Structure 1
Amino acid sequence: MRFMVIVKADKNTEAGVMPTEQMLADMGNYNEELVKAGVMLAGEGLHPSSKGARVRFSGPSRTVIDGPFAETKELIAGFWILRCQSWDEVIAWVKRCPMPPENDVELEIRQIFEEEDFGAEFTPELREQERRVWAEAARNAKQDLR
Structure 2
Amino acid sequence: MPRYLSLVRIDENNAPAEGPSPELMQRMGELIEEMTKAGVLLETAGLTPTAQGTRVHYEGGAISVTDGPFTETKEAVGGYAIMQCKDTAEALEWTKRFLKVHEDKWTVTCEVREIMEG
When normalised by structure 1's length, the TM-score is 0.71
Correspondence for 1:112: 115
Which residue number corresponds to residue 81 of structure 2?
Answer: 80
Larger helix fraction of residues: 1
Count of aligned pairs between the two proteins:
113
Q: Is the 8 A contact 1:16 1:47 kept in 2?
A: no
TM-score (normalised: structure 2) = 0.87
Identity, in percent, stands at 34
Alpha-carbon distance, 1:59 to partner: 4.2
Which letter maps to 1:27? M
Query: Following the alignment from structure 1 to structure 2, what is the Cα–Cα distance between the partners of residues 78 and 16?
Result: 17
Kindly indicate which of the two structures has a greater share of residues assigned to strand.
2
Whose relative contact order is higher, 1 or 2, with alpha carbons under 8 Å and at least 6 apart? 2
1:65 matches 2:29: no
Q: Give the direction of change, closer, same or farther, for the CA distance of 1:17–1:55 in structure 2 (3 Å limit).
A: farther
Structure 1: runs of 5 or more not aligned? 116-146
Matches within 5 A, 1:1-146: 1-10=2-11, 11-13=13-15, 17-69=18-70, 70-73=72-75, 75-97=76-98, 98-115=101-118
> What is the RMSD of the two structures over their aligned residues, measured on CA atoms?
1.7
What amino acid sits opposite 1:110 in the alignment? Answer: R
